[in-house]
Structure formats: structure tokens, C-alpha cells
């Protein structure tokens, strides 16, 4: 999913983190955005461990939102969301980046955070936090569907289906899906496929260890409807 800055009402932010060894820095203005108009700050607390703060983008008493992160460059590194904090004044995401063998490593990455957008934008997201559950409705604070509810099912180890009720294109296929593994480990998650041409929007997800073995894993997912 690619994006340009939206209206401030959409409450989102993104950043290209291009200084992986810097202790702290303000990222390049053309490649970072905070809908509040305030600063974006990146800090490194150890090898491959970063904190990205979007000043003023927090929900106050309301925690939630969504985070997606992708490693940047020609190498085989991958990056995960360790966690995020959004219930205060700021929205801060913690990122961990790994080599293909699962060792922490300094690397560049691209990150996006968002809160619910206007219904017309036809967006959905979820924090899938019950990795071993056969079926569940995710936390309302950390899931959103501009058209209805969200249901997650697990059909096997590391194999999941996420359904956003009513978010499909009703005869028009398309849209987009992003997924990021969540936690302190080196797991990674892929989008296997998605179906969006009917009434609902359903994404299939597979999660793996660094060695490529399917594994039950928490993850963060975002979809954009074709309409």
C-alpha cells in the first residue's frame, strides 16, 4: 500500500527510516508525515531496535490504531512491530529488524500508522492477538471495519483467514492488503491471497519462523477496499 498525505481528519502518519545506526534523528521531511503537523522522531535503543514517535497523534484516553512496517533495501532483512502505544498524547511504535537467520540487525524500513478514517475511505485493520485460537472476534479497540465487523479464523498452524464483513467490492475485485508480524521474535507473516469481489473482504495470512516453518504468530493487518 502506498500513500500520500491525507487530510488531517484521517489521523495517520508514515516515515522512511533511513538512518539505521543513528541513536536518534528527525527523518527526512519529504518521506515522513504526521497529520497533526507535529514532529516525527526516531530513536535506536539497541541493534535493530527502534522507537518511532508521532507527536500529538495519540488517542488520549482511547488506545488503538494500526501499525504496518516493511524492511527497505536490496537485502533479505525483515522488520516486525514489537508493540505500539497510542493511548496518550503521542503514537509510538516499537520496531525490531532481523537478518534472514533471525538475528537482530540495523536496517532501514518504511512504517505507517493510522487511526480509523472516514467511512467513505472503505478501510479495515486488525491486531490479531490470539495466535492459537480457532476463531475469534478481535479487540474492538485494535480493530476497525468501516462497513461492519471483523472475524479471524485459524485453519492450521500459522494459517489464518481475516474477514471484514461488508467491505467487499460487490462485483468489483481488487483492493490491497498489508500484514506485519507482531512481537519480539523474528517471525514473519505473508499475505497468501485475498478475496474482495463479493460482499465481504477476506485476507488469507501465513506466518513463519525465520527458518521458514509455519508458526502460530500474532500480527497486524490492514486492508483497503476496491471501492
User: Using one digit for the tens of pLDDT, what is the confidence trace for 184-199?
Assistant: 999 999 999 999 999 9
pLDDT tens-place string over residues 51-65: 999 999 999 888 999
Q: Give mean pLDDT, residues 121-145.
A: 95
Q: How many domains does the chain have?
A: 2
Co-location of 48 and 72 in the same domain: yes
Range of the domain at 79: 8-114
Of 84, 99, 114, the last residue of a domain is 114
* pLDDT score of 11 more than 90: no
168 within some domain: yes
218 within some domain: yes
Q: Give percent of the chain with pLDDT exceeding 70.
A: 94
Of 64, 94, 114, the last residue of a domain is 114
Q: Give mean pLDDT, residues 116-143.
A: 88
Co-location of 109 and 138 in the same domain: no
Co-location of 146 and 209 in the same domain: yes
70 within some domain: yes
2 within some domain: no
Of 114, 136, 156, the last residue of a domain is 114
Co-location of 126 and 35 in the same domain: no
Co-location of 220 and 126 in the same domain: yes
Contacts 24+ apart (CB under 8 A), 95-98: 95/17, 95/49, 95/50, 95/51, 95/52, 95/69, 96/48, 96/49, 96/50, 96/184, 96/186, 97/20, 97/48, 97/50, 97/71, 98/48, 98/186, 98/210
Co-location of 106 and 133 in the same domain: no
Co-location of 135 and 104 in the same domain: no
- pLDDT tier for residue 161 given thresholds of 50, 70 and 90: very high
3 within some domain: no
More confident of the two residues 226 and 69? 69
180 within some domain: yes
- pLDDT tier for residue 7 given thresholds of 50, 70 and 90: very low
1 within some domain: no
Co-location of 14 and 102 in the same domain: yes
Q: With left for phi above 0 and alpha for psi between -120 and 50, is residue 48 left, alpha or beta?
A: left
Residues 6 or more apart whose Cβ sits within 8 Å of residue 137: 149, 150, 151, 152
* pLDDT score of 146 more than 80: yes
Amino acid at each position: 500500500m502506498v500513500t500520500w498525505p491525507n487530510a488531517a481528519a484521517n489521523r495517520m502518519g508514515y516515515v522512511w527510516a533511513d538512518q539505521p545506526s543513528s541513536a536518534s534523528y528527525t527523518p527526512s521531511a519529504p518521506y515522513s508525515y504526521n497529520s497533526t503537523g507535529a514532529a516525527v522522531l526516531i530513536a535506536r535503543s539497541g541493534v535493530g531496535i527502534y522507537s518511532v514517535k508521532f507527536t500529538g497523534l495519540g488517542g488520549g484516553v482511547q488506545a488503538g490504531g494500526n501499525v504496518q512496517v516493511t524492511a527497505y533495501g536490496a537485502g533479505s532483512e525483515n522488520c516486525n512491530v514489537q508493540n505500539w502505544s497510542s493511548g496518550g498524547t503521542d503514537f509510538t511504535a516499537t520496531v525490531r529488524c532481523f537478518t534472514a537467520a533471525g538475528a537482530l540487525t540495523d536496517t532501514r524500513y518504511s512504517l505507517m500508522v493510522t487511526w480509523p478514517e472516514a467511512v467513505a475511505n472503505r478501510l479495515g485493520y486488525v491486531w490479531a492477538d490470539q495466535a492459537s485460537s480457532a476463531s475469534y472476534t478481535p479487540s474492538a479497540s485494535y480493530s476497525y471495519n468501516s462497513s461492519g465487523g471483523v472475524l479471524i479464523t485459524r485453519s492450521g498452524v500459522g494459517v489464518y483467514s481475516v474477514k471484514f464483513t461488508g467491505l467487499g467490492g460487490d462485483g468489483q475485485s481488487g483492493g490491497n492488503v498489508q500484514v506485519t508480524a507482531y512481537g519480539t521474535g523474528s517471525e514473519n507473516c505473508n499475505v497468501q491471497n485475498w478475496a474482495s469481489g463479493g460482499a465481504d473482504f477476506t485476507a488469507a495470512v501465513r506466518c513463519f519462523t525465520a527458518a521458514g516453518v509455519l508458526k502460530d504468530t500474532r500480527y497486524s493487518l490492514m486492508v483497503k477496499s476496491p471501492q
